[in-house]
Amino acid sequence: MQENSKYAEAFELIRSGYHDQKRGKIRMAVRKYKASIRLLPTAEGHTYLGWAYSLVGKYDRAILECYKAIDIDEDYGNSYNDLGYYLTLFKRYDEAKTWLTKAIAAPRFDERYWAYYNLGRIHELTGNWNEALKLYYRAIEFDPKFSNGVDATLRLHGLMN
């Protein structure tokens, strides 16, 4: 199979898996992500597979998939962001901050606001509310309609007053 054709097929499987995942068909999504990886291992395939695992509480697998994604493509910010998010759930804040900082700096990351938001959550959870607010506002600068960021700033302002 030609490389371009293999690439197109692998990404079509990811796209299709994502649509299954959005409809709650996680097992089907996992199968498609794994098929994509067998065809052509990509950072996207591993990151989306990790995300699917996280949705069913398999965070150890999700974390492992993020590490695999980073090994394949250090420029892909989604894997750093997701890894930081998963580590935050386990209160591994220092590790999470490292990965989220890398997500913010990653050359290939369209949803950078998530990394600012997730980093803000760590600061909020650890009592550094002023820094959390700065990061939430930074997230909103990237996407003014980012409801998680807007809600977080309103909630935190309410707690601070």
Angle between helices 147-160 and 129-142 (to 10 degrees): 150
Query: Between these two residues, 12 and 5, which has the higher pLDDT value?
Result: 12
Residue owning tokens 């949803």: 111
Residue 1 pLDDT > 80:
no
pLDDT single digits (tens) 77-114 = 999 999 999 999 999 999 999 999 999 999 999 899 99
What pLDDT, on a 0 to 100 scale, did the predictor assign at position 2? 66
Q: What are phi and psi of 108, to 5 degrees?
A: -115, 85
Rounded distance between C-alpha atoms, residue 68 and residue 102, angstroms: 16
By the 8 A CB rule, do 86 and 118 touch?
Answer: no
Task: Give the confidence band of 155 by pLDDT, cuts at 50, 70, 90.
Answer: very high
pTM of the model: 0.94
What pLDDT, on a 0 to 100 scale, did the predictor assign at position 161? 83
pLDDT single digits (tens) 50-74 = 999 999 999 999 999 999 999 999 9
Percent of the chain with pLDDT over 70: 99
In the CATH scheme, what architecture does the domain 1-92 have? Alpha Horseshoe (1.25)
Domain spans of the chain, in order of start = 1-92, 111-161
